[in-house]
Amino acid sequence: MFVLSVCCLVGIQGGHAATEGSAIVCAPVGQHSAVNVNAGDLNIFHSASPPAHEIRELAWLVFGISAGIFIVVEGVLIWSIIRFRKRKVDAGEPLQVFGSNPVELAWTIIPCIIVLVLTLATVRTIREVELESAPAGALEVDVIGHQWWWEYRLPAPSGAIVVTANELIVPVGRPIWLSLRSADVIHSWWVPRLAGKTDVIPNHLNHTWFQAEAEGTYLGQCAEYCGNQHANMLLRVRVVSVEAFEMWCAAQLAPQVADASGVDGRALFLELACMNCHAIDGVSKGAFGPNLTHLMSRETIGAGAAPLNPQTLRAWIDDPQSIKEGCNMPSLKLEASQLDAVVAYLLTLK
């Protein structure tokens, strides 16, 4: 176990290095692909926001105390295994020791002290991290968990509400106050580098918060088993400059520009079942699936199941089950020409 522990520490660092290399290969293809060298890094110790910092500090304290206890106990254990193994010279039974009040008192009281210290440290950090209300100046975001995607509603500087899915875009340096609701079962919102997880429970409003210190993409995923595609309910938070955030909001609120290449596809979108589930501003009002008004501003599709580009979009619409087996979007069995038209239309939703 000692060897393994060392491996662990090396691994936590090594895991970091490995992801730096591979993140570039897997860099998202979308238009906003601000390449973040740490995109694949979800290490809870690489915190980038106050709640995650607080937890990290407490974690190191607990690690330290635990390591001390571990070394002492395992040391004594190994010593007694080696020292007191039966030897050939041993004859008769060893001295029978029934106990010792001072010794037993000692190993009752010392753990009590450790427990007291840990409890106080815990209570202190709970108070730092678990806020009762939104911090001053926070951007208040509504998060709604669905089987198996995320819906976000956030106020633009103008006061209008931006509705988007699966990718949360927030300004750097500003506290973000999340109100968590679920449309169906329990989910859990967990972006390790920004904050610990908070469950997203139907009929039970929860809150969490973070304040990203650096621009970049922070990944996470649903952390409470929520059914078939729990594994592909990924979280993606893009932290951008304040100006970029304002531009993004403006773009999200801008009406769609009618584009000739989308006319046939738009007709199909209305004719087929698409509109029942998906909203597109000014076109349809479905609420069961993600809002598609600015679909092509996103980096991934299927809540992160695949990068978003014309090829994956076509494959997804052809048969979502081939990319995300068991998801709630059925294959509509479109013919190739219909598929081309729908994809062409969706590509205009920038």
Partner 1 sequence: MTLAEHHPTIPAEVSRTLGARLHGWAVTVDHKRLGIMYVCFGLIFFVIAGIEGAMMRAQLAQAAGKVVDPATFNQLFTMHGTTMVFLVGMPMLLGMANYLIPLMIGARDMAFPRLNAFGLWLFVFGAILLYYSYIGAQGLYGTSAAPDVGWFAYAPLTNRTFSPGNSTDYWILGIMVSGFGSITTAINLLATILVMRCPGMTLMRLPLMAWMMLVVSVLVIIAIPVLTGAQIMLLLDRSLGMHFFDTQNGGSSVLWQHLFWFFGHPEVYILVLPAFGFFSEVIPVFSRKVIFGYPLMVAATVAIGFISLGVWAHHMFAIGMSPALNAFFAASTLLISIPTGIKIFNWMGTMIGGQIIFATPMLFASAFLGIFTFGGLTGIMLAVVPFTWQLSDSYFVVGHFHYVLFGGTIFGIFSGLFYWFPKATGRMLSERLGKWFFWLLFIGFNLTFFPMHVSGILGMPRRVYMYQPDRGLELWNMLSSIGVIIQAMGISLFVLNVLISLRKGKVAGNDPWNAWTLEWATTSPPPEWNFDQVPTVGSARPLWDIKNPTDPDSNHEGIS
Binding to partner 1 (CB under 8 A): which residues in 219-238?
219-232, 234
Whose CA is closest to 303, among 245, 220, 242?
Answer: 220
Q: Return the number of the residue (230 or 294) whose C-beta is nearest partner 1.
A: 230
The tokens describing 201, both together, are 């429970």
30, 36, 42, 291: which one binds partner 1 (CB under 8 A) = 42
Q: Return the number of the residue (8 or 160) whose C-beta is nearest partner 1.
A: 8
Give Cα 14 distance to the centre of its chain. Answer: 21
6, 31, 64, 119: which one binds partner 1 (CB under 8 A) = 119
**To the nearest whole angstrom, how small is the minimum distance from the Cβ of residue 320 to partner 1?**
13
Query: Distance between CA 94 and CA 85 in Å, rounded?
Result: 12
Query: Distance between CA 71 and CA 172 in Å, rounded?
Result: 42
Q: How many residues bind partner 1, per CB under 8 A?
A: 105
Contact between 133 and partner 1 per CB under 8 A? no
Which residues, 88 to 117, sit near partner 1 by CB under 8 A?
90, 93-101, 103-104, 107-108, 111-112, 115
Whose CA is closest to 195, among 231, 217, 232, 220?
Answer: 220
**To the nearest whole angstrom, how small is the minimum distance from the Cβ of residue 30 to partner 1?**
16
The CA–CA distances, whole Å, from 270 to 63, 210, 252, 266, 329 equal 57, 39, 22, 6, 16
Which residues, 142 to 181, sit near partner 1 by CB under 8 A?
147
Give Cα 144 distance to the centre of its chain. Answer: 14
**To the nearest whole angstrom, how small is the minimum distance from the Cβ of residue 274 to partner 1?**
21
Query: What residue type is assigned to position 340 of the chain?
Result: D
Q: Return the number of the residue (103 or 161) whose C-beta is nearest partner 1.
A: 103
Q: Return the number of the residue (96 or 243) whose C-beta is nearest partner 1.
A: 96
Contact between 321 and 305 under an 8 Å Cβ cutoff? The reply is: no
Contact between 135 and partner 1 per CB under 8 A? no
The tokens describing 213, both together, are 């210190």
80, 158, 276, 311: which one binds partner 1 (CB under 8 A) = 80
Contact between 59 and partner 1 per CB under 8 A? yes
The tokens describing 206, both together, are 């929860």
